[in-house]
């Protein structure tokens, strides 16, 4: 027997060898937003744990795992959360809809920060907040023994502490949402608001024209209102100058690209170096 080792079975949880259970619960992305630290992100829409892990090591502060427009399932979302976990990047998950059942399942896989699409009223924002909180503050179903979120009940006092670590970001992408923005921002538990340029421009009558002057003015005004409320402002824009413009306005979480777009344009450019190719007519948009 090695010197100093006591007789009998001794068990050291492998969890402690990786990260402390308390650290696993702490939402560092939420804290960064509260501290006003700019967080630069990238859209992960390829629905692949392999590519998301590649992106996780690229140096971004956050990755958006997209369940609205990308072909993600609960299984692929879980796989990506597991793939990026060892890296210093915060996963943000966008559900397909503001649905409490879907949100419950996503949270149980370990997501702590959600970007909820198409929020158009204070009532819808309050519903999103309720969906991420356990009773009595909310309606999230309790199944922590089955949940990766609690590390299968290895995180001490998970049920009592989880509510405070949830981060709710609501997506504003219609004129109705813009009109109700101040009321939405006043909802307790809403941590930030994200302007969706593509859907906003379409719903304003400028389909495919997110850089139309009327749309840009609306976006600038909305970001100003979010910043003045004390909540975090966010947006996605693949143009470097425009992304920096939004950061200068006070936006805190800004996505500056989409993985599928980066892959497509880089592949086209490389092929074009060796072959006579017709220029690809990319659709107009903020990506």
Q: What is the pLDDT of residues 116-152, one digit of tens each?
A: 999 999 999 999 999 999 999 999 999 999 999 999 9
Q: Where are the domains of the chain?
A: 26-272
pTM over 0.75: yes
Give the Cα separation of 35 and 173 in Å (integer): 26
Give the Cα separation of 45 and 263 in Å (integer): 11
Rounded to the nearest 10 degrees, the angle between the axes of helix 74-84 and helix 100-108 is 40
Cα torsion 251, 253, 254, 259 to 10°: value is: -170
In contact, 255 and 63? CB cutoff 8 Å: no
Task: Write down the pLDDT at residue 42.
Answer: 99
Strand stretches in the chain, DSSP E: 39-44, 62-66, 90-94, 113-116, 167-172, 190-195, 232-236, 253-258
Residue 65 bridge partners (DSSP): 44, 93
- 276 pLDDT band, cuts 50/70/90, is confident
Lowest mean pLDDT among 2-6, 13-17, 92-96: 13-17
Percent residues over pLDDT 90 in the chain: 87
For 26-272, give the CATH class. Answer: alpha beta
Q: What is the pLDDT of residues 184-238, one digit of tens each?
A: 999 999 999 999 999 999 999 999 999 999 999 999 999 999 999 999 999 999 9
Catalytic positions, please? Answer: 69
In contact, 174 and 118? CB cutoff 8 Å: yes
- 283 pLDDT band, cuts 50/70/90, is low
Sequence-ordered list of residues with C-beta below 8 angstroms from that of 80, at least 6 positions apart, any chain:
44, 48, 49, 52, 65, 72, 91
């Amino acid at each position: 027997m090695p010197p100093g080792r006591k007789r009998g079975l001794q068990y050291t949880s492998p969890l402690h060898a990786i990260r402390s259970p308390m650290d696993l619960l702490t939402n560092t992305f939420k804290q960064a937003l509260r501290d006003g630290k700019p967080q630069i992100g990238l859209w992960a829409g390829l629905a692949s744990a392999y590519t998301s892990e590649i992106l996780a090591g690229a140096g971004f502060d956050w990755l958006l795992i997209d369940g609205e427009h990308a072909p993600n399932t609960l299984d692929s979302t879980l796989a990506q959360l597991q793939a990026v976990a060892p890296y210093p990047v915060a996963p943000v998950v966008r559900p397909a809809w503001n649905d409490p059942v879907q949100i419950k399942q996503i949270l149980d896989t370990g997501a702590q920060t959600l970007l909820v699409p198409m929020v158009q009223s204070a009532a819808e924002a309050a519903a999103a907040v309720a969906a991420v909180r356990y009773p009595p503050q909310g309606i999230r179903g309790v199944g922590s023994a089955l949940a990766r979120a609690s590390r299968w009940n290895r995180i001490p006092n998970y049920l009592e502490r989880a509510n405070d670590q949830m981060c709710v970001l609501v997506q504003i992408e219609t004129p109705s949402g813009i009109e109700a923005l101040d009321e939405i921002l006043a909802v307790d538990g809403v941590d930030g608001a994200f302007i969706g340029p593509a859907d906003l421009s379409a719903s304003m009558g400028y389909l495919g024209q997110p850089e139309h002057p009327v749309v840009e003015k609306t976006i600038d005004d909305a970001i100003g209102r979010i910043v003045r409320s004390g909540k975090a402002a966010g947006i996605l824009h693949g143009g470097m100058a425009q992304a920096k413009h939004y950061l200068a306005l006070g936006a805190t979480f800004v996505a500056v690209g989409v993985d599928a777009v980066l892959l497509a344009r880089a592949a086209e450019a490389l092929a074009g170096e060796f072959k006579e190719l017709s220029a690809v007519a990319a659709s107009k948009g903020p990506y």
